[in-house]
Amino acid sequence: MNSKLFLLFRVKQLFIAEKVTGGGNGSGGGGGGGSGGGGNTSSTSQPSKCGSVCGKDSNGTGVTRIVGGTVASKGEYPWLVLVKITAGGSPMQCGGSLVTTTHAVTAAHCLEFSGITEITVTAGEHDVSTTSEATTQFIEVTKSTQHPQYDPNSQDNDIAVLTLGEPVKWTDNVAPICLGINQDHTGTLAVVAGWGTLSY
């Protein structure tokens, strides 16, 4: 079971790396055993602001969260972006994570709507009920790529890469999430961050 999970992790990691670098010339493709996609990223898209510990909140604590959730501090998860999808006149929202200044990852099922006319990303968002946050950056998505083996029925490979029309600017509230290192994280507590209500 652990080897299957690791392989799935590596396949997704290679998919992200290939889409971010524009590669495909590197070794490793579908088996998860190679070095990832080829090509080079420009200096403007390199995640140069990764913290000393990848994937930790900005407090560096990896704080405990209750099942029902708590309100996050402003800038606590600086890689989190709000993905807005407009299809048929109705806006939908999903979460995503910045991996470079010009790429974010999100769930492939967020892009399944027919008649999508626009996809935008809001970086630095904290409170979606307000429109006047000084920390936000609004960016149009110019390309979206679902994982080629995404299965909408089983939700296998439920991941997509979004290419942004312009680079985000790294700030205290906007920074990349680092891609995980190649090790088994079985038994590690994960944190889920997003927007919602704590009560009705």
pLDDT tens per residue across span 96-128: 999 999 999 999 999 988 788 999 999 998 888
Is the per-residue pLDDT at 82 higher than 90?
yes
Looking at residue 184, its pLDDT comes to 79
Looking at the fold, whether 53 and 135 belong to one and the same domain comes out as yes
Domain range for residue 147? 49-66+74-191
The answer as to whether 197 is a domain residue is no
Rg (CA), the chain: 17
Task: Report the candidate in 195, 179, 200 with the shortest Cα–Cα distance to residue 55.
Answer: 179
What is the tally of structural domains in the chain? 2
Tokens for 84?
Answer: 């807005």
Looking at the fold, whether 8 and 56 belong to one and the same domain comes out as no
- As a whole number of angstroms, the distance between CA 152 and CA 149 comes to 10
Looking at the fold, whether 138 and 186 belong to one and the same domain comes out as yes
Letter string b/e over residues 170-180, b meaning 16 or more CB atoms within 10 A of that residue's CB: beebbbbbbbe
- Residue type at 166 in one-letter notation: E
> Residue 65: phi, psi to the nearest 5?
-120, 140
Mean pLDDT score, 38-65: 44
Is the per-residue pLDDT at 70 higher than 90?
no
Mean pLDDT score, 56-81: 67
Per-chain mean pLDDT for the chain: 73
Instruction: Identify the three-state secondary structure at position 127.
Output: coil
Is the per-residue pLDDT at 199 higher than 90?
no
